[in-house]
Amino acid sequence: MNNRTPLRNTLALVIWAVAWLAMFALEGTLDLANLAMLLVLASALSALWLPGWASMLASAAAVLAFNWFLVPPKFTFTVDIHQNALLLLALLLVNWIIAGLVIRQRRLAETAQTVAAREARLRQWGDTLRDASDPAAHAAALRTALQEATDCTVSVSVLRALGRQQDNSPPLQVGEPDDEQRTALALCARDGRPMGAGSGRYDELPDTYMPLRGRGITLGAALITGLARHPQGHELRPHLQALCDQMGSALHRSLMSEQERLAREQAQLQATRNALLAAISHDFRTPLATIMGAASSLQEQGERMDPAQRQRLAAGIVEESERLARLTDNTLQLARLDAPAVSLRCDWESAEEIVGAVLRRTRRTPQGHRVRAWVEPDLPLLWCDAMLVSQLLDNLLDNGLKYSPAESPVELHATRDGEHLVLAVSDRGPGIAAAWQQKVFEVFQRGEYDSAANGSPADRGAGVGLAVCRAIARAHRGELQLRPRAEGGCRFECRLPLREIEQTPTPPPDAREALP
């Protein structure tokens, strides 16, 4: 505002000069009362720009000049007619009243502008904090905001451990405080209350210290040098503390977000440990016991067995070993996909080649001849981890072969549906009860079915395969769904998004895609 003072004074002088020229020019045309109106108008207009004391003095000097130059007898301060004296007195009072009112309104307008500027600064500061996450960026932005508000030297100290004062790491300093000021900043952050000149605490300190307060926690402090000598220092304190409190709240949110992330990762790690322990204690024992029993029988009684018996035991060992290997792969894959920042080895893959490789592996199993596959012609390339998608199809086919009648077919279809590739596996088994249609995708959950319908033993499922399949689908931004069939059985559909080859693929949430 100070750099505009000469312009304001110049405008006021121009108004007075124009008014006096008009009064001298119209002296013979208008009477004194009408000339006095020009004086009142000039006084009101000049009061818009002149300081209050200058406007009052200018009005008084204008009335005296009006008496000297225009009120007879001219060039004297003597007034012969009483009504002219009343006119001069009224003119002086009216000029002062109008000037006072204009000055008051101008001050109210300036106050409103100041309040609006502070509110705008608070909004802008809030937007900055909402978009920022790094404490260093917060501290630099707070220092800038406080300097703009006060024109004072500002330093900011942020606890590097985000409120954990027991951490020995030094606080983050923005600015150049000396050793004494650093000590005072640490004390202000520890106590969580303003201190320094004008605060009521440690008033002997020359500077002002304001805490960065969150909800029930203080995460730093700000140093404002020379605030006590600022002409509006007392009025600025609530505004400055509001800026600091916004900073403290933003840091507190960052602290809560970081703690929430760490807690979520710890929960995921604990869930993975629990899943591995449950798999080992619940599902690994049966195939291990079968393998050990068959192997010990071959070792101890192999010479007394006929070739058919030895072949049967060897086949049992192979079958249970494959089951154990598949269970181990599924459990480890589930643990990997549940871990934070999982890495997928994605590339452009052909659905025909993936289905063909899965079909060749399945056909080598005793029940593999039951699988029927159909692939829609001219399917686009799929951006995926081929090993994971193959494991998904292996699990779905194994699941269909287990829980369907011995001679019924299991169908594998690969089709396109809009912007998705649909990989579907259908069987003609007993189906899954409605209450279990979502639970079967949870780890170690197995749907209830009638084992007599297909002659399969009731404990063949480990409850991991479908959970892995859904995790693989979601890691590729897809979804796995169960759709009951009207003619009986189940249809599992995996819908994977298709992308244009020239597009840069977007990694799925919490995943980083890398070429193998």
Residues 26 and 81 occupy one common structural domain: yes
Residue with tokens 């008084």, as numbered in its chain: 60
Q: Which amino acid is at 334?
A: L
126 within a domain of the structure (yes/no): no
Residues 394 and 490 occupy one common structural domain: yes
Residues 452 and 474 occupy one common structural domain: yes
CATH number of domain containing 422: 3.30.565.10
Residues facing residue 154 across a β-bridge: 224
Q: Which of 241, 257, 273 is the last residue of a domain?
A: 257
196 within a domain of the structure (yes/no): yes
264 within a domain of the structure (yes/no): no
Tokens of 349: 């893959």
Residues 218 and 89 occupy one common structural domain: no
Q: What is the DSSP letter of 507?
A: P
Number of CB atoms found within 10 A of residue 322's CB: 13
315 within a domain of the structure (yes/no): yes
Which H or E run contains 96? helix 82-131
Tokens of 214: 């969150």
Tokens of 470: 């859904």
125 within a domain of the structure (yes/no): no
Residues 331 and 347 occupy one common structural domain: no
Bridge-based pairing state of the strands 410-417 and 371-375: parallel
Residues 330 and 187 occupy one common structural domain: no
Tokens of 263: 């807690």
Q: Which residues of 290-301 are buried (b: 16+ CB within 10 A; e: fewer)?
A: bbeebeebbeee
CA distances from 398 to 217, 426, 438 (A): 56, 11, 19
441 within a domain of the structure (yes/no): yes
Residues 68 and 197 occupy one common structural domain: no
- Tell me the residue range of the domain where 152 lies: 135-257
**CA 317 – CA 294 distance, rounded (Å):** 7
127 within a domain of the structure (yes/no): no
pLDDT, tens digit only, all 516 positions of the chain = 455 678 878 888 888 888 888 888 888 788 888 888 888 888 888 887 777 788 888 888 888 888 888 888 887 777 777 777 777 788 788 878 877 887 787 778 777 777 777 777 777 777 777 666 666 677 888 888 888 888 888 888 888 655 444 455 678 888 888 888 888 988 998 888 999 888 888 888 888 999 988 888 888 899 988 887 877 777 788 888 888 888 888 888 888 888 888 888 788 777 766 766 666 665 677 777 888 888 888 888 877 888 888 888 888 888 778 777 777 777 777 667 766 566 788 899 999 999 999 999 888 888 888 999 999 998 999 999 898 899 899 889 988 888 888 888 999 999 999 899 999 999 988 878 777 777 777 765 555 544 444 444 444 445 677 888 888 898 889 999 888 887 778 899 999 999 887 554 555 444 433 323
Number of CB atoms found within 10 A of residue 67's CB: 22
Number of CB atoms found within 10 A of residue 102's CB: 20
Residues 289 and 242 occupy one common structural domain: no
Residues 215 and 165 occupy one common structural domain: yes
The answer for residues whose C-beta is within 8 angstroms of residue 473's C-beta and 6 or more apart is: 392, 479, 480, 494, 495, 496
Bridge-based pairing state of the strands 153-158 and 218-225: antiparallel
The answer for residues whose C-beta is within 8 angstroms of residue 211's C-beta and 6 or more apart is: 188, 189, 191, 192, 193, 194, 218, 220, 221, 244, 248
CATH number of domain containing 174: 3.30.450.40
Q: Total domain count for the chain?
A: 4
Residues 11 and 90 occupy one common structural domain: yes
Rounded to two decimals, the pTM is 0.47
Residues 364 and 494 occupy one common structural domain: yes
The counts of H helices and E strands in the chain are: 12, 14
Q: Which of 257, 272, 302 is the last residue of a domain?
A: 257
Smallest Cα–Cα separation from 175: which of 189, 163, 158? 158
Helix (H, G, I), strand (E, B) or coil at 192: coil
Tokens of 339: 């871990």
Residues 194 and 243 occupy one common structural domain: yes
280 within a domain of the structure (yes/no): no
**CA 384 – CA 378 distance, rounded (Å):** 18
Q: What is the DSSP letter of 66?
A: H
Helix (H, G, I), strand (E, B) or coil at 319: helix
Cis geometry, peptide bond prior to residue 516 (ω within 30 degrees of 0): no
Q: Which of 64, 82, 115 is the last residue of a domain?
A: 115
